[in-house]
Each structure stands twice: as C-alpha cells, then as structure tokens.
Structure 1
C-alpha cells in the first residue's frame, strides 16, 4: 500500500496547480510580495521542486515522493509507541 501511495504521489504531483498558494496570492494582490525577495532560510524542497534536476516531471514527482515518505516516517514514529501492546501481568520478558 505504501508503494502505491508513493507512486501516486510521484505521478499526481506533476499535475498540481502552478498557481500561487493562498499566502502568495494575498501578497501579490496587496503588493508586498516584492518585499520578501530574500528569504531568511532556504526550504528543503523550494517551490515543490528538487533543485539540480533538469526534467520538470522528475523534479516535481521526486518532491512528491520525498514528501510522502517523510509523512509516512513521521506517522510511523508517532503511531509506533501508541500501538505497543501492554505487557501482561506476571509475564517476564
């Protein structure tokens, strides 16, 4: 199931909207987007594209796969302790 989800993230992410997200749109509409030219830090995956890859489909698809894999990892790390079975009384480990 995880493999199917990663493949879907890689393929579907190429067809994502090229339009700016909500915050960028508000900044454009109110004319203060230019004030934020120099970011204070660089994102790991800026603009949902992997830098250094020339193929548009590959750099966006790979960003989708990496994002989905990170999400799986975080959810697994959170759910693992929550799903641990309680020890039975009187049972030695």
Structure 2
C-alpha cells in the first residue's frame, strides 16, 4: 500500500509537471470563446481590468517568452492553490480530540 505522504508528493509533482511542462506546449491559438468574441465583434468592447498590468496577467509572466511565461505562471498557480488549500484546511480543521478528559477542579 502506498503511504499518504508519498501519494501527495507524487500528486504535487504531477501537477507541477502538467502546469509547467505541458502548458509550455499548449496552443497559442485563441480558444473557442475568444474566437466567437472576435468574430462577433464582442471583443472590441472589452475593457482593461484592475490586474491587467500584474506580473501574471494573461496566463503568463510579463517580460518573458510567451511559452516560458505560461509554464512559470502554471507552476505559480499550482503553488498558490496548494498554499490556499492548505491554509483553508488549517482554518477549518477541527481541534484534535484529547484522550483524557479535562478536569476543572
């Protein structure tokens, strides 16, 4: 039987590989929604948003090659989601049950 820690480490490595390596080779063509927005003219009414100039805007890292930036942004995304998940898990975790009842005397 595989240990829980080993399972989580393998899962994390797989997520980092998918986010970092496979996103490097992902298509640079727009997805279906962007294609429809472009062909119908909806995209022309698009406005910039508050995070438009941020380092990870547009699923990439500003100042880097587009493909490399996508891979790094994917890895950062996995790590941010992991951190948020672990932090939220700690917040909502029940306190450990004690074996001995506490005495208030």
Question: Structure 1-normalised TM-score?
Answer: 0.71
- 1:39 equivalent in structure 2: 48
Aligned pairs, how many?
90
Please report how far the alpha carbon of residue 6 of structure 1 lies from its aligned counterpart in structure 2 after TM superposition: 1.8
What residue ranges of structure 1 are gaps of 5+ in the alignment? none
What residue ranges of structure 2 are gaps of 5+ in the alignment? 1-8
Please report how far the alpha carbon of residue 74 of structure 1 lies from its aligned counterpart in structure 2 after TM superposition: 1.4
- Point out 4+ residue stretches in structure 1 off by more than 6 angstroms: none
Question: Structure 2-normalised TM-score?
Answer: 0.65
- What SS does structure 2 have at the residue aligned with 1:75? helix
Q: Where does 1:59-78 land on structure 2 (aligned, <5 Å)? A: 59-78=69-88
After superposition, the CA RMSD in angstroms is: 2.6
- Specify which structure has the bigger relative contact order, considering alpha-carbon pairs within 8 angstroms and separated by 6 or more residues: 1
